[in-house]
Structure 1
Amino acid sequence: MFWTVVATLGAAAVAFAVVQVAHLVVRRLGRRSTLLTELSDHAHRPFLVAATTLAVALGVRFSTGYATGEPWRQTVLHLLTLAIIGTVAWLVASLLLVSEDTALARFRVDVPDNRQARRIKTQIVMLRRVTIAVIVVLAVGAGLMTFPSVRGVGASVLASAGVIGVVAALAAQSLLGNVFAGLQLAFSDAVRLDDVVVVEGEWGRIEELTLSYVVVQIWDDRRLILPTSYFTTKPFQNWTRTRSAVLGTAEFEVDWSVPVQAMREELRTVCEGTELWDGRVCVLQVTDAVGGVVKLRALVSAADAPSLWDLRCLVREQLVNWLRDRQPTALPRMRTEVGDAGGDLPWQWVRPRRPARRPADAEAPDDARVFGGSDDGDARGHAFVGPEEPVDATR
């Protein structure tokens, strides 16, 4: 027993020293390498624990024999085997995370045109979640298989795997649907992290994307949590799928006397005087002119959605001030005209004269008929006429 403790402590000390020396060497060499830096920062602790546990297991195994006088040996070795499985799984997960972080370091998301970087980041994050889940499942399965009773049950479980698989698929079809939807979102490039979207009438950005749900940070700092299957089954707006630059509008209803060209020049002055405008689009158009008002639409562009929101608000404010201060007659007005019975202007009220009587059988003039009176009217009338002979229902 004494020699077992000594051998175990010696093996653990040797493993600890070797790992520490390797850590110092990697850290010194990693000053110019992103991969070595990530290894020294994230993989050092799991590597130290895994190496020490393996050294202790080897020390116990080779310092003791199979004599029946040592009943604790099998129990200790079994516990150490479980510890080795867990620490090795931790080490493998850390190495995968290091490789994923190294890949992410090559793509910057703090630049204006970061669509490609956000796509890669989304895919790597989803792969990270899948790989960690797979490693945990495999580690738990390997640990359970070290128990003889579990190995005996494993044969019967495998024999009925088909029935169990069908039952599990039916019971977890919603969960599995969300998982596959999350993978589809990550690799179909339909939505990425930091994309600006409009869902359920709310405008926000994709803050978190998992295998089962998506978190949308709304512009007022609320969080909208949706299942991933939502984005594969329902339509939504993605403002930054192809690029972050977007267009926006500001509409005005004004009087017919508005000087459109002067207002167009004022819009250009407003856009050129702010850093929110990206210099691409600055257009003022008359989109409608009915109902007593003229509808104008200002179309402007910005580098991203937040800048566009502020730019649209600025355009509205400045043009409203310009209309109020410079063109007050262009503000929306409702006109009322008072007629004069004695006036001779065409639009003023006059006493109606008695209409002349016409025969009762007189036909309406051709220009008052929709289904006749002309070739087009006759054709339209024939199109809406039913069958010439009644259909016999007894046939």
Structure 2
Amino acid sequence: MTAGIPLSPWLATVLAAVFAVTLAAIAHRVAAMVLRRATASIPVLHSVVLACIPVMRVLLPLITLQLVWQAASSDLPYIEGIRHFNGLCVIAGACWLLIAAISGLANGVIAQHPADVEDNLNARRIATQARVLSRTAMTGVVMAGLAMMLMTFPGARQVGASLLASAGVVGIVAGIAARPVFSNIIAGLQIALAQPIRIDDVLIIEGEWGRVEEITSTYVVLRIWDERRLIIPLQWFIENPFQNWTRTSSEILGTVFLYADYRLPLDPLRTELQRVLETAPEWDRRVSVLQLTDVTERTIQIRVLVSARSSGLAFDLRCRVREALITFIQREYPDCLPQVRMPADVAAKAPLSMQTP
């Protein structure tokens, strides 16, 4: 009987906590249904609501529990520790809610501008800005949440105050050590606003051709054509030059170089080029040029310039044109392939292996 007396205050508090959690669950279910229907006609807001609903399923009970613990008597054993722990959970849940809302907002904006269209330049620009800015904001939320959680510990506040008062050198060292992190964050903001690169842009970096697969708050993932991944810090793009083949448009010119004998007539080759391009789905009908661009003591250099809607199509078109023109020369003008000429008297004295049949 005496053992049960100290438990009665806790029993009332626990019952109140159970009632509060049940009430929070019911409120969450009703609010989720109402908000889903109310925001169905607003895609971006609907995306934010959908992202926040799972978080609120956890956060609402935590908030109601915190109210119960605060209303409970301070004489209850362990109540201060429970209040502190629940408060930390509420802070973590609030940060989680903000991160979910930011993510939902970014996803909603990106979904409004699909990139699976032929001219997706504007969609890629918006997707890059949304992802980089959202991840930067998420980083700020996490740092602010950790700072708020640490400030709930009296010991941490005292340590922080003493470090600020007497350890200025340590602060300078920490600032120097953290410089790469902050420089990458600032570089991320510059990239999001100035747009030197975007998601799915075609870049040439360190001699590697690839597409931008992901832009995080600290680095960029470049998907190389052979499925490798090149990881580049954001700061690198601010400090180094690089090629962006899709900066203002995905349209691009492709070149094909051929080497032939001086006797090769160019007009039939131009006619064959036009015939090949007319049947090539990769050609966008903008540019079709065949020119003799250089000569050496043995061969002529022929440059073919063609256009395509994207770099991938341009590569396929170059291969198609190169194969077709080489086959044409082999079939129609086999004697105009690159040759090594010798005077007749020198050829007669040459070993049999060097003489042409």
Q: 1:7 aligns with which of 4, 11, 16?
A: 16
Name the residue aligned to 2:70.
61
Name the residue aligned to 2:96.
90
Using the TM superposition, give the Cα deviation of residue 24 of structure 1 relative to its aligned residue in structure 2, in angstroms.
Answer: 1.2
Residue type of the partner of 1:166?
Answer: I
Name the residue aligned to 2:26.
17
Cα deviation per residue 1:301-346 (whole Å; 9 max; x = unaligned)?
Answer: 1110111111000000000010011122321122222369xxxxxx
Using the TM superposition, give the Cα deviation of residue 112 of structure 1 relative to its aligned residue in structure 2, in angstroms.
Answer: 1.7
1:169 aligns with 2:169: no
- Asked if the contact 2:45–2:105 (Cα under 8 Å) also holds between the matched residues in 1, the reply is no
Change (3 A) 1:160 1:317: farther
Q: 2:285 aligns with which of 261, 275, 279?
A: 279
1:225 aligns with 2:234: no
1:266 aligns with 2:272: yes
Other structure's SS at 1:55 match: helix
Equivalent residues, number: 337
Q: Distance in 2 between matches of 1:196 and 1:20?
A: 46
- Asked if the contact 1:198–1:204 (Cα under 8 Å) also holds between the matched residues in 2, the reply is yes
Name the residue aligned to 2:35.
26
Q: 1:135 aligns with which of 123, 138, 141?
A: 141
- Asked if the contact 2:48–2:103 (Cα under 8 Å) also holds between the matched residues in 1, the reply is no
Name the residue aligned to 1:292.
298
Using the TM superposition, give the Cα deviation of residue 280 of structure 1 relative to its aligned residue in structure 2, in angstroms.
Answer: 0.7
Which TM-score applies when normalising by structure 1?
A: 0.81
- Asked if the contact 1:249–1:298 (Cα under 8 Å) also holds between the matched residues in 2, the reply is yes
Q: 1:197 aligns with which of 178, 185, 203?
A: 203
More RCO (CA 8 Å, sep 6+) = 2
**Percentage of pairs with the same residue:** 39
- Asked if the contact 1:251–1:296 (Cα under 8 Å) also holds between the matched residues in 2, the reply is yes
Name the residue aligned to 1:311.
317
Change (3 A) 1:253 1:226: same
Using the TM superposition, give the Cα deviation of residue 142 of structure 1 relative to its aligned residue in structure 2, in angstroms.
Answer: 0.9
Using the TM superposition, give the Cα deviation of residue 126 of structure 1 relative to its aligned residue in structure 2, in angstroms.
Answer: 1.3
Using the TM superposition, give the Cα deviation of residue 181 of structure 1 relative to its aligned residue in structure 2, in angstroms.
Answer: 2.8
- Asked if the contact 1:11–1:55 (Cα under 8 Å) also holds between the matched residues in 2, the reply is yes
Change (3 A) 1:183 1:40: closer
Using the TM superposition, give the Cα deviation of residue 235 of structure 1 relative to its aligned residue in structure 2, in angstroms.
Answer: 2.2
Name the residue aligned to 1:155.
161
- Asked if the contact 1:112–1:244 (Cα under 8 Å) also holds between the matched residues in 2, the reply is no
Name the residue aligned to 1:146.
152
Residue type of the partner of 1:202?
Answer: E
Residue type of the partner of 1:65?
Answer: S
Q: 1:182 aligns with which of 188, 192, 195?
A: 188
Using the TM superposition, give the Cα deviation of residue 36 of structure 1 relative to its aligned residue in structure 2, in angstroms.
Answer: 4.5
Using the TM superposition, give the Cα deviation of residue 170 of structure 1 relative to its aligned residue in structure 2, in angstroms.
Answer: 2.1
Using the TM superposition, give the Cα deviation of residue 167 of structure 1 relative to its aligned residue in structure 2, in angstroms.
Answer: 1.2
Change (3 A) 1:160 1:287: farther
- Asked if the contact 1:26–1:36 (Cα under 8 Å) also holds between the matched residues in 2, the reply is no
Change (3 A) 1:279 1:161: farther
Name the residue aligned to 1:111.
117
1:337-356 matches, cutoff 5 A: 337-338=343-344
Q: Distance in 2 between matches of 1:141 and 1:226?
A: 29
Which TM-score applies when normalising by structure 2?
A: 0.89
- Asked if the contact 2:203–2:210 (Cα under 8 Å) also holds between the matched residues in 1, the reply is yes
Q: 2:220 aligns with which of 192, 195, 214?
A: 214
Q: 2:245 aligns with which of 215, 239, 251?
A: 239
Higher helix share: 2
- Asked if the contact 2:257–2:303 (Cα under 8 Å) also holds between the matched residues in 1, the reply is yes
Change (3 A) 1:262 1:200: same
Q: 2:341 aligns with which of 332, 335, 339?
A: 335
Change (3 A) 1:35 1:189: closer
Which structure has the larger Rg over C-alpha atoms?
1
1:35 aligns with 2:44: yes
Q: Distance in 1 between matches of 2:306 and 2:239?
A: 32
CA RMSD in angstroms comes to 1.9
- Asked if the contact 2:202–2:244 (Cα under 8 Å) also holds between the matched residues in 1, the reply is yes
Change (3 A) 1:321 1:167: same
Using the TM superposition, give the Cα deviation of residue 192 of structure 1 relative to its aligned residue in structure 2, in angstroms.
Answer: 1.3
Other structure's SS at 1:335 match: coil
Change (3 A) 1:144 1:172: closer
- Asked if the contact 2:50–2:104 (Cα under 8 Å) also holds between the matched residues in 1, the reply is no
Give the unaligned 5+ runs of structure 2.
1-9, 347-357
